[in-house]
Structure 1
Amino acid sequence: MNARIDRQRSRLSVIALTLMLASCGGSDHPDTAVPDAITQIMQKPAYANAIWAMQVVDLDTGRVIYDLNSGSQVYIASVRKLFSTGNALDVLGARSTHVTPVYKQGNVDANGVLTGNLIMVASGDLTMGGRANPDGTIAISAFDHNEADGLGNAILTAPDPLAGFNALAAQVAAAGIKTVSGDVVIDDRLFDAFPFREEEGFNVTPMLVNDDVVDISFSSSADGAVLPFNYRPVSAAFSVQSTLKTDSTTSGFKVELTPDPSQNLVPVCFGTANCSGAVSGTVPTVEQPPLTNAYPLVRTFRVSAPSTYARTVFIEALARAGVTVTAAAVGPNELATLPAQGSYSSAQQVAQLTSAPYAQDIRFVNKVSYNIGADVTLMLYGLAKSGSRTMAASLATEQQELSSTFNIAPSQYHFEDGSGGGETTANAKAVIALLRGMRLMPDYAAYVDSLPFLGVDGSLTTVTDFEADPTLAGAKGKVYAKTGTYVGLSSTTPVVPQLKGQALAGYIDAKSGHRLAFFVTVNNVAFEGFPTVLNAFQDEGMIAAQIWKLQ
């Protein structure tokens, strides 16, 4: 009860702070002009027809330092995650955990035979132990596998993606169950499943395995040879075949996946025998893979039916633990056999998996910009705050929170999900109000720690080339900010691909010692392939470093 009272007091303090911010200076004050060192970046030829927006505020006093188009609605993409993760962290708490239990539905005889089903109840645990480091943190990499197909490569984390399923299976065996004379079912009814970004072709549920992807990792090979590869998780639920080979006559990586994720196609065969995906194409003999400049080369297939997939990998984990399941490992997840939601008895529980503290989930989502994780985060927030079971209801709950706690009006933003998909917009003032408000929340330190650190980790690991300007080197590790990228189609005729939004927002511990809240975005940049995104990324990193230096 005292914790709840403290959080309510914090929210009232946030309201007072944001009202004070609203009365502070703005773009009509001449002393808030953007300095030349920053405008020179904004005026590069690549941004000739682009629109910039920016606001920099002293975190403690609310003084507006720089202001440019701060009242304009602009594309912010994954900067939206600042809102969903901030609210969830405040409501759930940095030290809370997810508990994923396993129940027996029936009796176990003297021979260890369970006559009935074994049920795993999904809790919204983002990693299910599959990214667990020995020190209890969640493993991340500079180039996350969730973006492998879009970016052209990734770095896989070291932990076993099935570690949590193996741990649960071992507990089931330790509970004396040797045979399940029935089925294994994943109860994924925590919230209502919803389409991920509509066009992607699959639903988000509270059950996740390896972030709902199957990784394919290719090694190098001699000219004309098929590249050696392996994939994970290894399961009868989904296999991979590949004819990808090297070719001395090609100058680029032409990797084709079937089904093709670039066409928003996903495997739909989960739960049936021989479900698989195929990789084909060519890679250059000498050239190294993008981003990492070294093999392995990583691609992924989407797990479009996570509960069905989880059922198979859990049955396989049980087999490794010495528990036989009479039902076929590959098959549908039979929700119709489940008891009423919430009716499970503690006496029937035979295993449980406890997640890392929730601060680690938020860190994972923000450091690597994990989209599905951000959507699940919003759903968990909605459930905890108001019992919301749908995306629409969770968005409505969040809207009330932003209005009452942060004094951010609905007219200042447009959110379609929890991750920044679609036409996600906000104005700079809304983002700054959130960032300033979060400083009074009980878990503010965990919030800041969840953000990528410039030149250190997450999506900002390799953004800024400090060697190009050694005077900015001190900004390394002093900028804590969320990135956002939105590539879509222009509203012009003819319609062409466009970097509709590249955004960066968070905090800066400036050279002066002051902590600043900042937001910067560029919209409507002519798109000429991945280098356009990379260059905008780097330029906004340089802008943040300039802010550090100038303040």
Structure 2
Amino acid sequence: MLKNNSTTILLSLLLMILSMPVLSKTTMSQGTDTASTSSTVIPGDIETIITKPMYKNATWGLRVLNLETGKEVLNLNSDTHFFIGSVRKIFSVGELLNKVGPGHHSLTTVHKEGVIEDGNLKGNLVLVASGDLTMGGRTLPNGKIAFTPFDHNEADSLGNAILTKTNPLAGYQDLAKQIKKSGINSINGDVIIDDRLFNAFYFRNQFYVSPIFVNDDVVDVIINPGKVKEKSLVDWRPKSDAFSVVNELVTVQPNKKYTLELKPILPECIGKPNCFGLIKGDLPSNFSPPLTNSYPLIQTYRITKPANFARTVFIEALQQAGVDVSKITKVKDNPTHLLKPSHFYNEENQAASLQSPAYQEHAKFILKVSYNIGADTSLMLLGLTDGERTMAGSLAMEKKQLHDKYGITTSDYHFVDGSGGGDTTATSRVVTQWLEIMSQQKTSFDAFFNALPILAVDGSLDFVKNFKANPTLAGAAGNVYAKPGSYVVGTESGMLLKGQALAGYIHSKNNHNLVFHLVVNNIPINSLDNLLEVFQDQGEIAAILWRDQ
């Protein structure tokens, strides 16, 4: 994918914005419903912002509730369908928190087939995937999950990322050490990944996702400049025979054009010998990486065949732990045809296990950085609680649960996955209804609340800070906990912010606890300055709600 600096930064901010929408009492509805009129007057300070010329073609929605009284404080187009993007995640993550509990742990297990004679396992070793999103690769010493302001899952679209300082292979290495401790010194069989927990789903028409993960199923490419006219310094993680990187990126004279190409972004060779990706292009010696303005520059390759990759990584971890795996072909397709029926793998033949962090930690990871695959996997895990193994089945199960258990009207939303992809829509009424329902969940609300990004503090709202220049608004920082979402498309005339939303909670200056959903649809983005103005305006609107309600 060929990139230049200005385009990369613009796209990064478009996708990163995940930010706060705005509202107006004068525009028509864009959704499939007829426009519903406001039952309250939009405050003048907000009206001033949203009637700026750049918003003349936009459509706005707003609903604010007082949690203590249940009273509707503000309402604009609350029954209109809007594109909400990643705000959808508050449903999939919240529902799973309610279903399994914040303290729920998944257990990845390793099982031995056959007998052990003189330390030699005469049979296969099978790792049974549990849907653990991080597999120890983000776990800190205190059991919490590490994340950064710019997550590597979006490195290619954002133009850069900040990596965690954790070991992405920690879980696999821990399992391998347990195998060695169990008395297995060599394996006369094969190593297999059992990823049958649920049916793999096709993520946004790009690649399949299964219940096994290594480094969030990406290979991080770590780039630093070299000497002019020489190759740039390129490293990658995790290191494995499953995939390597060939470096043809050259550091060039300052102010030359920046180009960077990774081929292929979606490698199909994983599971075959000598699988690699190629990085090439020109890196000006004075280039400043997007977002961080400092090196390293991070890009990624997608692990498109996670079971194949995980198998190789696990074999390498076994070798590192001192287990003789010399009779096993390290790099090949995962031999699922050798698996026994799932019920065979039980405690009697279990040789090792890895407990995931509590789901509340995964929830925080998903919502703080807007981890799409994590939200989709959460929906799949929710479906499994009712015996559903497919994305379609999980969506149907969720729809039934939202209606039967929570009283949510089916026609108030349209969900296509668990993360808010594509034409995901909802009304402000149903979003605030869900937030109100979550606030009443005694066992899971604290975990849900603390998982949300905090305005001007962390996650995908960390950078929304311009409102702090107004002394009357500065106190909003740290008092707005909300999930942003965006839906950006390219058009012939440029980029279109088709939908942008923010949904969550405000503890107001007047000591009220509020639930709110702000949404805007249809903002043409013509320049980087335009875009910066949009999300800083949105931050100011959230702060006004904090100050005045």
What is the TM-score with the length of structure 2 in the denominator? 0.90
Identity %: 48
Conserved? CA contact 1:132–1:138, under 8 Å: yes
Matched, 1:236 2:237: no
Q: Extract unaligned runs of 5+ from structure 1.
A: 1-25, 261-265
Matched, 1:210 2:206: no
Q: Extract unaligned runs of 5+ from structure 2.
A: 1-34
CA displacement, residues 150-201 of structure 1 (integer Å, 9 cap, x when unaligned): 0111100110000000000000000010111111100000001110012x1x
Give the AA of the match of 1:139: A
Give the AA of the match of 1:427: T
CA distance in 2, matches of 1:73, 1:509: 27
Alignment partner for residue 43 of structure 2, among 35, 40, 47? 35
1:400 equivalent in structure 2: 400
Q: 1:207 to 1:535 in 2, by over 3 A?
A: farther
2:6 equivalent in structure 1: none
CA distance in 1, matches of 2:472, 2:415: 38
Superposition map of 1:142-157 within 5 A: 142-157=149-164
CA distance in 2, matches of 1:529, 1:311: 46
Give the AA of the match of 2:454: F
Conserved? CA contact 1:219–1:295, under 8 Å: yes
Q: 1:485 to 1:29 in 2, by over 3 A?
A: closer
2:198 equivalent in structure 1: 191
CA displacement, residues 466-506 of structure 1 (integer Å, 9 cap, x when unaligned): 4432322211111111111211245xxx5753111121111
CA distance in 2, matches of 1:109, 1:147: 48
SS of the residue corresponding to residue 470 of structure 1 reads coil
CA distance in 2, matches of 1:118, 1:430: 48
1:22 equivalent in structure 2: none
CA distance in 2, matches of 1:252, 1:333: 42
**Paired positions, count:** 513
CA distance in 1, matches of 2:250, 2:74: 52
2:511 equivalent in structure 1: 513
CA distance in 1, matches of 2:252, 2:499: 36
CA distance in 1, matches of 2:295, 2:535: 24
Q: 1:534 to 1:246 in 2, by over 3 A?
A: farther
Give the AA of the match of 1:513: N
Matched, 1:427 2:392: no
CA displacement, residues 306-326 of structure 1 (integer Å, 9 cap, x when unaligned): 011000000000010001222
CA distance in 2, matches of 1:280, 1:39: 49
Superposition map of 1:306-455 within 5 A: 306-325=306-325, 326-384=327-385, 386-441=386-441, 442-455=443-456
Matched, 1:158 2:165: yes
CA displacement, residues 427-480 of structure 1 (integer Å, 9 cap, x when unaligned): 100100000010111210100001111111111111222443232221111111
CA distance in 1, matches of 2:187, 2:283: 47
1:44 equivalent in structure 2: 52
2:232 equivalent in structure 1: 227
SS of the residue corresponding to residue 123 of structure 2 reads strand
Alignment partner for residue 544 of structure 2, among 541, 546, 550? 546
Q: 1:45 offset after TM fit, Å?
A: 3.0
CA distance in 2, matches of 1:102, 1:370: 27
Conserved? CA contact 1:51–1:522, under 8 Å: yes
CA RMSD of aligned residues (A): 1.8
CA distance in 2, matches of 1:378, 1:530: 35
Alignment partner for residue 91 of structure 1, among 99, 115, 119? 99
Say which is worse superposed, 150-159 or 218-227, in terms of deviation.
218-227
Q: 1:287 offset after TM fit, Å?
A: 3.6
Give the AA of the match of 1:98: S
Give the AA of the match of 1:352: S
1:524 equivalent in structure 2: 522
Q: 1:536 offset after TM fit, Å?
A: 3.2
Alignment partner for residue 90 of structure 2, among 47, 58, 82? 82
Say which is worse superposed, 437-446 or 536-545, in terms of deviation.
536-545
Give the AA of the match of 2:50: M
1:122 equivalent in structure 2: 129
Q: 1:251 offset after TM fit, Å?
A: 6.2
CA distance in 2, matches of 1:381, 1:103: 25
Say which is worse superposed, 269-278 or 455-464, in terms of deviation.
455-464
2:188 equivalent in structure 1: 181
Give the AA of the match of 1:390: T
2:71 equivalent in structure 1: 63
1:7 equivalent in structure 2: none
Conserved? CA contact 1:406–1:433, under 8 Å: no
Say which is worse superposed, 413-422 or 245-254, in terms of deviation.
245-254
Give the AA of the match of 1:282: D
